[in-house]
């Protein structure tokens, strides 16, 4: 038996079925049943009537029209019933909670606002670096090799009017292009 056949057979009931009831009867997921019932109602094989979020599905058009007349009142009654049930459960929970109440958590002390940067800098103590010996005394049996350190990247100071190799190459290319044109 296909899912559509199961839905049609279940909705023969004169009071119709809501989506949750239909899901239980057909024993399938809510998304699948909702998709299938919507498709069948668009095809005219099933009648969907009622108030939004309180629809019912029927196979008989006369039953669907009868439900349409009382759907709004039934929805209001349904909401009232749910409200009463909710209040009743809350009262039971409060009554059970009154017997055992866990101790209230102690309030955390408020964190101090962060200090301003200027205050932090002003309060710091300036410590001098320890003085290092300028001359290292090596024992006689140790042989020391001193390798020259290459100059740093930005230590080069060009003399006045000096041109680098790249600049010289560009000047040569320009002179060749001018002379050949």
Amino acid 124: pLDDT: 54
Amino acid 71: pLDDT: 83
Q: Are 49 and 68 in contact (CB under 8 A)?
A: yes
Residue 87 falls within a domain, yes or no? yes
Which DSSP category does 28 fall into? S
Amino acid 116: pLDDT: 65
Residue 157 falls within a domain, yes or no? no
Task: Return the CATH number at 17.
Answer: 1.10.10.10
Sign of CA dihedral 13, 19, 20, 25: positive
Identify the helix (H) or strand (E) that includes residue 45. none
Task: Please work out, in degrees rounded to the nearest 5, the angle formed at the alpha carbon of residue 18 by the alpha carbons of 14 and 23.
Answer: 115
Amino acid 131: pLDDT: 67
Residue 73 falls within a domain, yes or no? yes
Residue 155 falls within a domain, yes or no? no
Residue 68 falls within a domain, yes or no? yes
The Cα 129–Cα 181 span in angstroms is: 66
Amino acid 99: pLDDT: 65
Residue 168 falls within a domain, yes or no? no
Residue 119 falls within a domain, yes or no? no
**Number of domains within the chain:** 1
The Cα 136–Cα 154 span in angstroms is: 29
Tell me the mean pLDDT per 10 residues along the chain, length 181.
84 85 87 88 88 84 85 87 91 75 76 67 61 78 87 85 87 85 62
Residue 13 falls within a domain, yes or no? yes
Range of the domain at 7: 3-97
Amino acid 141: pLDDT: 92
Amino acid 83: pLDDT: 92
């Amino acid at each position: 038996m296909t899912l559509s056949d199961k839905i049609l057979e279940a909705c023969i009931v004169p009071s119709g079925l809501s989506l949750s009831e239909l899901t239980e009867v057909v024993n399938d997921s809510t998304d699948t049943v909702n998709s299938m019932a919507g498709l069948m109602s668009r095809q005219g094989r099933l009648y969907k009537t009622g108030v939004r979020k309180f629809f019912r599905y029927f196979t008989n058009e006369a039953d669907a029209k009868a439900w349409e007349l009382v759907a709004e009142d039934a929805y209001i009654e349904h909401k009232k019933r749910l409200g009463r049930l909710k209040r009743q459960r809350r009262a039971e929970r409060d009554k059970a909670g009154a017997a055992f109440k866990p101790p209230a958590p102690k309030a955390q002390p408020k964190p101090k606002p962060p200090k301003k940067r200027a205050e932090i800098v002003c309060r710091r103590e300036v410590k001098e670096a320890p003085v290092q010996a300028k001359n290292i005394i090596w024992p006689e049996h140790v042989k020391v090799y001193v390798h020259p350190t290459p100059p740093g990247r930005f230590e080069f100071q060009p003399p006045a009017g000096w041109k680098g190799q790249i600049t010289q190459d560009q000047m040569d290319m320009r002179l060749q292009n001018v002379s050949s044109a």
